[in-house]
Amino acid sequence: MSLIHYCVVLILILVYSNSALGQDDEVLMLPNERTTLDDCHLRFHKLLATSLPKPAFGHPAHLKEFAHMGAIGWTQPNGTIAWKCGGTLIWDNFVLTAAHCVIDTENQAPDVIRFGDLNIETTEGDEYAQQLKIVAIFRHPQHRFASHYHDIALLKLEHNVTVTEVVAPACLWTDEEVRFKILEATGWGRTGYAEDQTPILLKVALKPIENEECGKVYRNVTDRKLRLGLQPHQICAVDKKMDTCEGDSGGPLQIKLMHNTRVTPFVVAITSFGTACGLSSPGVYTKIAPYHDWIVETMQKNGAMVPNDVYNATFCALRYVSLREYEDAIITSRTPDYVAVDTDRRHMFEVDGLPSYIVQLAWNGETNDCFGVIIDEDTVLTLAQCVTHNRERVSHIIYSNITTIKVSRIHVHPKYEQGSSYNNIAILRLQHFVNENDFDPACIWQDDTPSQEVYVHGSGRRDINRLLYSYDHDNSIDSSITILAPRVRFQNNSSCLIPKRYLPLLRNGLTKEHICSGQNLFLVPKSCDLVTGAAVHEDFYRAGNTYPMVYGLNFLGRECGFGEHSIAIGMANHGEWMKTILFSNYKTSHDTIQFVDTDHQEGDSCHRHDGRPARCVPISRCSRGWKQFLSNGTIELCATSSLACCSLNDIAETELNVIHPQLAGCPRLVENLNITSPRGSLVFIGWLTSKGMELRCLGTIITKRIILTSASCVGDEVPAAVEIEGNSGTQTRYEVDAILVHYAFNATDDTNDIALIRLQDTLVWSSDLFPSCLWTNTTHVPLVLSMVSPDDTGNVGLAKVVAMYNTDCQRTHMYDVQDSQLCARNPFDNFTCNTRSDQLRYDSPSSVSYIVGLSTDFDECEHFRYTVFTRISSFVHWIGMNI
């Protein structure tokens, strides 16, 4: 390393202002040893806080909820119209209804239909209403008025309706499987025995029930119209509350499906018949699915230009997307003609791609649909079911869709059985680090109580998922796949709705290791596929920043948990197993805890098994005992589980009061000095050369005669003097008396890289000349530290750095990182460089400046994110003995 000539003016340049720290008030402390998985905010600490603006807007609204509902009417001889049945607009000029509605009790056919009118008897809202003549009636060919079967008919209108927000066709549910737990019936239906026609449109929530159960009711009814019992083309539904009647005859039984942050009604069945109202018996409905082809063909044969796939859920939902209602979640307020919405509250977010912490698994070039989450530079969590594909074990991971990294080790949960939904978790270790400089890992949730609402990862067609505003009329088909971030709710075991077809995979039911999440709202089918092995997650605010917190890895569920919920393997329950793999030397067994002297209290002498002299102290003060406990769970205890019988050699020196009084008194001394500048304890150390005084190293004053610096900087040659800058900018030179390099300093691996310089004269403390205090805590260091470094121009720069676990920098360090060393990284740069005499400092809220580390001579800084320092707390005893 070349000699650096420092200019005599010491200027502190604050490289990153404190305002950029965005810290909470708490001082974050990093323990020396890693003992918890809940330390992501420490390991991957970010210094710059971010926030996002929230959009909000409103738009005018009409009553769109019943836009497809029509009232079917019979014009009476005196000119009034009797509204006796309901119908559903399914095409611009076609209405679907029940076959029994095509004649009334007087054998008359209906002749008129009215849409967009909530209150059929009054003129209220009539400006939106459209009334059209019925010009043709198509009853299903197999329907007989003498029976309840095939009770379905189409009505052709005189011309197209004008499609508006309050008059628009519905979609049809064409799947034989009716997966919905609740359906909605609408109609101007009678509400009780009185048989009054209610003037306004009503909706009622109904629960589909099995035909078998429903049939029990109708078996006793001697109804010749139902001689063959209930048929597969019929479904039954009962009022959830079992107290009111089903909807109007001919009206729809429907479900609203979400897409594009809106909902479109899908008609599942047509109201056919029921027993007497108010008797809480099920209504019977004609299912749409078996009649799909008849409906489409009939319309086609009668002049409608209907494509064959007109009722494909995706295409149908997109047809009038811009006219549909917004999903409830985003509506913040509603008046009769205006709704305000906040799209931040929507359930489905289209995102640019999977977050970079989601990695794809690969088998020598092949991929399937398995993913995992990366939790640090070389560790991926995934599902055990994802490890093997076509009998081959996963060989690589793909990070950010570009970087392929080889898997070096695979740890499948030892209790996992092939194909099982239990202990379905695995850890992959990578051969190389993910070397992205903006690497953002996922954090693992370790707590039992998660938030109510979280996000999952899905993928689906762009057209059906994009957010459309009221002024967009973009219903173009775009089958490209986009990544989705659906917002779902945690469900407990009783509210979890698992699709029936997954029950065989969950033979023992849901256990504590599972996370059930989802929404009761259904999506348009095939609009969202869960990403297998991706995360149930949430951005979590912690220590001034947000971190992605992963609750679990998804493995079961369709439509991203909407309507039917999805199941993930939770992280919290597998923490112990993960620690055994992620922490070196971690042992779970606590049975090695031994109480040796149960009647001994703090401070008493005690008897260790190894016979070494020992005393009872709080565990945290027994540095080696604590470390041993963490590594293999062995500890000898006194009266309580927090008192260790600690060998006298192990008791932290600070607790044995060997700390030199001058060092111990430092914080109080400095607090009382009313210091005016933080630089008052920095000195430059100089050597006399032919060119004069050469200031080569930075040192720090720790007592009135002692300067602390690194051995690698001062070398063997005794310096001539140190220079200290006064407040006025004047330099004062103090002659050096002697130098002491640590006896065990090793210039190869830079261990014990510490030296003391003694001055000939004694300093006089003032508000601009004062000591730095030593960081004496042997178990923790402050997470965010300042690195003070002289630069080439002779100024002293101050940069924020973040302390790291030794075990983390050990992964790439060429030598053993000793306990007496400390690693830190510059979070703003890809590398952390230092010179031989940089200092790691911590400025406490009470303005006391502590020296926490001294840099070592590490030449290859341009290859490493971190740099290694001498940990001052390990040398407090040595310093004390030598001052």
Ligand X SMILES: *[C@@H]1O[C@H](CO)[C@@H](O)[C@H](O)[C@H]1NC(C)=O
Stretch that binds ligand X, among 132-140, 684-692, 742-750, 862-870 (CB under 6 A): 742-750
Site for ligand X in 529-588 (CB under 6 A): none
- For residue 332, the minimal CB distance to ligand X (Å) is 32
Distance of CA 232 to the CA centre of its chain: 44
Q: How many CB atoms lie within 10 A of CB 857?
A: 18
Give yes or no for a contact between 654 and 875, defined as CB atoms under 8 angstroms apart.
no
Nearer to ligand X, 69 or 168 (CB): 168
Nearer to ligand X, 388 or 746 (CB): 746
Nearer to ligand X, 191 or 197 (CB): 197
Interface residue with ligand X, options 18, 493, 511, 592 (CB under 6 A): 592
DSSP secondary structure letters along 220-251: SS--GGGTT---TTEEEEEETTS-S----TT-
Q: Give the residue numbers annotated as catalytic, written as ranges.
A: 100, 151, 249
Site for ligand X in 787-816 (CB under 6 A): 815
Site for ligand X in 680-739 (CB under 6 A): none
For the chain, state the CA radius of gyration: 38
Retrieve residue 401's tokens.
């869709």
User: Does the footprint of ligand X cover residue 105 (CB under 6 A)?
Assistant: no
- For residue 589, the minimal CB distance to ligand X (Å) is 9
Q: How many CA atoms lie within 13 A of 179 on its CB side?
A: 23
Stretch that binds ligand X, among 17-25, 257-265, 550-558, 629-637 (CB under 6 A): 629-637
Strand order in the sheet with 338-341: 57-60, 338-341, 331-335
- For residue 387, the minimal CB distance to ligand X (Å) is 22
Local structure of residue 111 (DSSP, 8 states):
-
- Alpha carbons 513 and 551: distance in angstroms, whole number: 11
- For residue 352, the minimal CB distance to ligand X (Å) is 8
Strands 379-382 and 426-430: antiparallel
Interface residue with ligand X, options 628, 834, 849, 867 (CB under 6 A): 628
Site for ligand X in 342-371 (CB under 6 A): 353
Nearer to ligand X, 142 or 401 (CB): 401
Interface residue with ligand X, options 17, 80, 476, 657 (CB under 6 A): 80
Interface residue with ligand X, options 88, 130, 254, 314 (CB under 6 A): 314
Nearer to ligand X, 205 or 221 (CB): 221
- Alpha carbons 775 and 849: distance in angstroms, whole number: 9
Nearer to ligand X, 84 or 487 (CB): 84
- Alpha carbons 871 and 781: distance in angstroms, whole number: 9
- For residue 349, the minimal CB distance to ligand X (Å) is 16
Stretch that binds ligand X, among 72-80, 131-139, 284-292, 374-382 (CB under 6 A): 72-80
Site for ligand X in 645-674 (CB under 6 A): 654, 672-674
- Alpha carbons 748 and 711: distance in angstroms, whole number: 12
User: Does the footprint of ligand X cover residue 312 (CB under 6 A)?
Assistant: yes
- Alpha carbons 119 and 98: distance in angstroms, whole number: 22
**Beta-bridge mates of residue 866:** 825
Stretch that binds ligand X, among 32-40, 528-536, 625-633, 656-664 (CB under 6 A): 625-633
- For residue 316, the minimal CB distance to ligand X (Å) is 9
Interface residue with ligand X, options 749, 768, 819, 843 (CB under 6 A): 749
DSSP secondary structure letters along 412-436: E-TT--TT-SSS--EEEEESS----
Nearer to ligand X, 330 or 530 (CB): 530
- For residue 449, the minimal CB distance to ligand X (Å) is 25
Nearer to ligand X, 344 or 749 (CB): 749
The 823-862 site mask, x for binding ligand X (CB under 6 A), equals: ------xx--------------------------------
- Alpha carbons 615 and 645: distance in angstroms, whole number: 5
- For residue 673, the minimal CB distance to ligand X (Å) is 6
Interface residue with ligand X, options 525, 561, 667, 686 (CB under 6 A): 525
Nearest one of 658, 37, 795 to 375, comparing CA atoms = 37
User: Does the footprint of ligand X cover residue 217 (CB under 6 A)?
Assistant: yes
User: Does the footprint of ligand X cover residue 746 (CB under 6 A)?
Assistant: yes
Interface residue with ligand X, options 5, 46, 526, 813 (CB under 6 A): 526
Give yes or no for a contact between 676 and 768, defined as CB atoms under 8 angstroms apart.
yes
Q: How many CB atoms lie within 10 A of CB 194?
A: 8
Nearer to ligand X, 231 or 403 (CB): 403
Nearest one of 173, 285, 49, 277 to 522, comparing CA atoms = 173
Nearer to ligand X, 342 or 440 (CB): 440
- For residue 631, the minimal CB distance to ligand X (Å) is 5
Largest Cα–Cα separation, the chain: 125
The 388-427 site mask, x for binding ligand X (CB under 6 A), equals: -------------x--------------------------
Going through 655-775 in order, the beta strands assigned E by DSSP cover: 682-689, 692-701, 706-709, 721-725, 731-741, 755-759, 773-774
- Alpha carbons 488 and 521: distance in angstroms, whole number: 10
Nearest one of 364, 366, 405, 411 to 384, comparing CA atoms = 411
- For residue 655, the minimal CB distance to ligand X (Å) is 7
Stretch that binds ligand X, among 233-241, 547-555, 773-781, 832-840 (CB under 6 A): 773-781
DSSP secondary structure letters along 782-847: ESEEEEEEE-TTS-EEEEEEEEE-HHHHHTT-SSPPPTTEEEEE-TTSS-----TT-EEEEE-TTS
Nearer to ligand X, 470 or 620 (CB): 620
Count of residues engaged in binding ligand X, rule: CB under 6 A: 37
Report the alpha-carbon angle 102-103-106, nearest 5: 165
Nearer to ligand X, 377 or 723 (CB): 377
Interface residue with ligand X, options 92, 440, 529, 819 (CB under 6 A): 92
User: Does the footprint of ligand X cover residue 437 (CB under 6 A)?
Assistant: yes
- For residue 183, the minimal CB distance to ligand X (Å) is 18
Stretch that binds ligand X, among 46-54, 74-82, 340-348, 513-521 (CB under 6 A): 74-82
Interface residue with ligand X, options 280, 634, 677, 818 (CB under 6 A): 634
501-516 burial, b for 16+ CB within 10 Å, e for fewer? ebeeebeeebeebbbb
Interface residue with ligand X, options 78, 105, 107, 476 (CB under 6 A): 78
The 2-31 site mask, x for binding ligand X (CB under 6 A), equals: ---------------------------x--
- Alpha carbons 169 and 172: distance in angstroms, whole number: 10
Give yes or no for a contact between 148 and 225, defined as CB atoms under 8 angstroms apart.
yes
Nearer to ligand X, 330 or 670 (CB): 670
- For residue 684, the minimal CB distance to ligand X (Å) is 27
Backbone angles phi, psi at 715, to 5 degrees: 65, -155
Give yes or no for a contact between 680 and 712, defined as CB atoms under 8 angstroms apart.
no
Element (H, E) at 879: helix 876-882
Retrieve residue 590's tokens.
């606590």
- For residue 750, the minimal CB distance to ligand X (Å) is 8
What are the residues binding ligand X (CB under 6 A)?
A: 29, 76, 78, 80, 92, 160, 216-217, 220, 305, 312-314, 353, 401, 437, 525-526, 592, 620, 628, 631-632, 634, 654, 672-674, 746, 748-749, 777, 779-780, 815, 829-830
